[in-house]
Amino acid sequence: MRITVSVNGQPYTRDVEPRLLLVHFLRDELGLTGTHWGCDTSNCGVCTVRLDGVPVKSCTVLAVMADGHEVTTVEGLERDGELDVVQKGFVECHGLQCGFCTPGMLLTARWLLERDPDPDEGTIREAISGQLCRCTGYENIVRSIRWAAEAQAQAQPQPQSQAQAHAPTDAEARQ
Amino acid sequence: MSYGRMHRKEDARFIRGRGTYTDDVRLPGMLYGAILRSPHAHARIVSVDASAAEAHPKVRAVITGQTLAGLGLAWMPTLSQDIQAVLATDKVRFQGQEVAFVVAEDAYSARDALELIDVEYEPLDAVVDARTALDQDAPVIRDDLEGRTDNHLFDWEAGDRARTDAIFERAEVKVAQDMLYPRVHPAPLETCGAVADFDKVTGKLTVWCPTQAPHAHRTLYAMVAGLPEHKIRVISPDIGGGFGGKVGIYPGYVCAIVGSIVTGRPVKWMEDRSENLMSTSFARDYHMRGEIAATRDGKIQAIRVKVLADHGAFNGTAQPTKFPAGFFHVFSGSYDVEAAHCEVTGVYTNKAPGGVAYACSFRVTEAVYLVERMVDVLAAELGTDPAELRLRNLLRPEQFPYHSPTGWEYDSGDYPRALRLALDMAGYDKLRAEQADRRARGELMGIGISFFTEAVGAGPRKHMDILGLGMADGAELRVHPTGKAVLRVSCQSQGQGHETTFAQIVGHELGIPADDVEVVHGDTDQTPFGLGTYGSRSTPVSGAAAAIVSRKVRDRARIVAAAMLEASPDDLEWSDGTWSVVGDPASGKSLAEIALAAHSNLELPDGVEGHLDAVTVYNPPNLTYPFGAYICVVDVDPGTGQVRVRRFVAVDDCGVRINPMIVEGQIHGGLADGVGMALMQVMAFDEDGNHLGASFMDYLLPTSMECPSWELGETVTPSPAHPIGAKGVGESATVGSPAAVVNAVVDALAPYGVRHADMPLTPANVWRVVNGDPFRTDLAIS
């Protein structure tokens, strides 16, 4: 099947098998190996990417389902040579060790901060609860996301109104 | 100047998705492999017909056990002097065992072709329960071994049996408890895999794979396959977690290599999660009976242990050769006992081979769990507070270096200080008061303590080797003319941050910024020989090598500085990162200045080579013995058996901390692992040997919701055996924490008369325990 998927703002048109998973499309067809694969069963979440803004597990999405949609991967977080605040937070608070779950965690963190610019610990833990990390015991991931929330608030005097404008609706989130 | 918190150098690539893990390696013309696996736990192979798969238009090769037998590669040595089938020829001996390997143009086609291979099996009865493996009528699993008529693997003992038994005979108080440390899996988020590229023209084999021990892999490939070792290059790129599971050589690696030799093209093989959980090793699976002899006033006199060890179908346990039960015999733990003795019997069963050191420092976690559970059983028997009982029996600071009754020499420690700090941090007395209040209201709250002594950093060559390879590590340090340095080490990070920590060690020794030190690792063509990263050995062994090689560079720099200062080397002193004439700090020459001079036309004394580069091999004089005190607080729902970990206090002493941020991160991860093992993780089997935990839907790992916010404390007791006083820490928390969680849950269930319950303490298991009807967590056989 011929599909066109926008990835990190760039459209890609490819002929793919209908059974091709989105994670393999990103990694093997586009060479975007920052998105990892870990379990096949949607449990580990290392393959998490954003599909039209919503975090999805790309091992459980067919590439053809992304036809005409927008995908954001970890490679799309850095803008014009400037790291996203969540990337800075993970460095600052040692939110990663082996780095394998990190891309998925970063994308969920970015999504969370758009929905809730000031999440408390419990909200952060719930947001990342569909993603496993075997190295950090989650402690420093939680701190990294808190750090990012605070850094974002400092950088943007009116973070809440801006964030709400960008936040996906609940209906979108349920897709 | 370079110790302390420092952001990791590794992070820059990982946060951008620019790490290079094995599955990210792409080579021109690369083919993809997939493995056909046995659906049976035990069956005779009648026939394998691969003709339909071979006819698949995208298939380039099908390799079977017979193919490998023709090359002499159907079997390979394990890490424990046994052999393991690469691809089965005669029988399959566990569910998921490798039977055939397909090489195709793409990964999906390789999988498709597996369906086309027709294997006829004659199913046999399986040995699933280790406790029946030695029965007279048990099927013999390893009939491939000459003369083998049973499933007995080894008997091993340590300690003084006669003395221990004598103490038990006259002891005032004796307690005994059976307990299981269930079969678990390290389950790093990156599975295993390999990319093999054999160049027929040059005869060079390059293998990318996530190995924790790249040099050991290279040597084993040379020994097994007969390839010349200088023509083998093993590259261990970024690794997505290892935890001991990526030490050994798995059949898929050999298949990828053979696939590349057969097809003349690079071959990639990556296992999926089910393959990882079913076939790529396991850890623990120790059926233990512990006994303590004590006085009525709570002085522990002797400990006695019997272990039945389930080693699966091939003995692939990772441990130094002398020790078939790893370092289990450190089980007398942190206590001052007169005598101790253990007996371990290993058996074959129809389960996956392995016995990897899953963040356990070669079975120290089983040992710590045993003794810490037993101390709580004794506390219950005596009606003594478990904290008080521990304080009464812990080794005292003046007893170090301490010679344990089973032959260990603990290097340093102040155990009571660590436990008291943990009790203070937890607010222990208040917690006990709260518990009493809650109990009065019918609520189940538990407080669990665990004190551990680890034995890490294998190890002294005369005692420790793996397959005959001594456990010393090399290091090379080059200092460029402008004073920037490159350190090359044999160990390989799986997330531990060696590129940062080891740069800090060199920076500290040479008085240069850690940012001026590049650490090269994970490529056998680029690094000196060494045994790799596991058993928390990187800092104790390779880290020590990094310090020693830096000091060699510093000594060379001294001679050059003396020539620069027209002084005798004997008249120089090293301070503030410079060599200066004694009493004249202003004369100081920094390493960068000396390095430039060392490469210049400066006249040097006769016999002095110039340059500053140095090499070393570090043979550790002893292990290092980190220790710690952990306290866990849980709430148990009496209606459902659900356990919630409310708090976890962890005081660790790993000697000098090079980068405290990284140390704390390592501890956090290990604590989560301990909670997982105590409450969730188990690989059980049904009576036919079917694996009941073969996906992350069934093999549960802790998420952010099961983990509390960890409360860390530290004491620092430097190791006298290590050049910078550091001890290993990577596994401490995994070793120490499961007992704290289980002790807490058992404490919560004390109102029901519960003294022990086996891991994992799932709601169902807890509920059954409360109702006096516990089940075996390792078997789905009622």
pLDDT tens sequence across B508-537 = 999 999 999 999 999 999 999 999 999 999
The distance of A115 to chain B (nearest Cα, Å) reads: 19
Subunit contact A34:B18, Cβ cutoff 8 A: yes
The predicted structure's pLDDT at residue A156? 78
d(CA B287, CA B691): 19
Q: What is the mean pLDDT of residues B109-134?
A: 98
pLDDT tens sequence across B326-372 = 999 999 999 999 999 999 999 999 999 998 999 988 999 999 999 99
Count of domains for chain B? 3
DSSP class of residue A110 equals H
Residue B737 shares a structural domain with residue B695:
yes
Closest residue of chain B to A81, computed from CA coordinates: B16
Residue B174 within a domain: no
pLDDT tens sequence across B631-645 = 999 999 999 999 999
Asked whether the beta carbons of A1 and A7 are under 8 A apart, the reply is no
Q: Which residues of B touch A96 (CB under 8 A)?
A: 11, 14-15, 495
Residue B163 within a domain: no
Q: B577: helix, coil or strand?
A: coil
Which two tokens mark A167? Answer: 């936040």
Which of B6, B8, B13, B14 to mutate to probe the A interface, most A CBs <10 Å? B14
CB atoms within 10 A of CB B63: 24
Residue A159 predicted with pLDDT over 80: no
Residue B93 shares a structural domain with residue B44:
yes
Q: Which of A94, A100, A129 sits opposite B190 (nearest CB)?
A: A100
Q: Minimal CA–CA distance to B194: which of B249, B157, B262, B143?
A: B249
- If you average pLDDT over every residue of chain B, what do you get? 97
- Could you tell me the residue range of the domain that residue B476 belongs to? 472-618
The distance of B41 to chain A (nearest Cα, Å) reads: 23
pLDDT tens sequence across B49-108 = 999 999 999 999 999 999 999 999 999 999 999 999 999 999 999 999 999 999 999 999
Asked whether the beta carbons of B438 and B445 are under 8 A apart, the reply is yes
Residue B613 shares a structural domain with residue B626:
no
The predicted structure's pLDDT at residue B16? 98
B126: region left, alpha or beta (phi > 0 left; psi from -120 to 50 alpha)? beta
CATH topology of domain A2-75: Ubiquitin-like (UB roll) (3.10.20)
Residue A162 predicted with pLDDT over 70: no
Q: Minimal CA–CA distance to B171: which of B266, B61, B260, B292?
A: B292
Q: Minimal CA–CA distance to A108: which of A128, A90, A94?
A: A128
Domain at B551, CATH number: 3.30.365.10
**DSSP per position, B78-146:** -TTS-EEESS-SSEE-STT-EEEEEEESSHHHHHHHHTT-EEEEEE------GGGTTSTTPPPS-TTST
Residue B265 shares a structural domain with residue B293:
no
The ipTM is 0.97
* Interchain contact B672–A (C-beta under 8 A): yes
Phi/psi of residue B587, each to 5°?
-80, -5
Confidence of residue B451 (pLDDT cuts 50, 70, 90): very high
Residue B1 predicted with pLDDT over 90: no
Which two tokens mark B105? Answer: 């143009």
Asked whether the beta carbons of B88 and B48 are under 8 A apart, the reply is no
Residue B327 within a domain: yes
Residue B626 shares a structural domain with residue B611:
no
Which two tokens mark B491? Answer: 């160990």
Specify the DSSP element, H or E, that contains B241: none
pLDDT tens sequence across B691-726 = 999 999 999 999 999 999 999 999 999 999 999 999
Confidence of residue B130 (pLDDT cuts 50, 70, 90): very high
Q: Strand (E) positions, B254-397?
A: 267-270, 283-294, 300-310, 339-347
Cα separations (Å) of B491 from A62, B165, B386, B540, B663?
Answer: 39, 43, 40, 11, 18
The 10 Å CB-count burial string (b at 16+, else e) for B325-341 is bbbbbbbbbbbbbbbbb
| pTM of the predicted protein model | 0.96
CB-based burial label for B583 (10 Å; 0-12, 13-18, 19+): exposed
The predicted structure's pLDDT at residue B224? 84
Q: Which residues of A touch B274 (CB under 8 A)?
A: 40
Q: What is the mean pLDDT of residues B471-498?
A: 97
- The CATH code for residues A85-173 is 1.10.150.120
Residue B342 within a domain: yes
Residue B269 within a domain: yes
Q: Which residues of B touch A97 (CB under 8 A)?
A: 241, 495-497, 665-666, 669
Subunit contact B709:A142, Cβ cutoff 8 A: yes
CB atoms within 10 A of CB B157: 16
- Bond into B459 cis (ω within 30): yes
Q: What is the mean pLDDT of residues B187-212?
A: 97
Asked whether the beta carbons of B321 and B459 are under 8 A apart, the reply is no
Residue B640 within a domain: yes
Residue B594 shares a structural domain with residue B662:
no
Residue B97 shares a structural domain with residue B196:
yes
pLDDT tens sequence across A96-137 = 999 999 999 999 999 999 999 999 999 999 999 999 999 999
pLDDT tens sequence across B654-676 = 999 999 999 999 999 999 999 99
Residue B763 within a domain: yes
Subunit contact B704:A94, Cβ cutoff 8 A: no
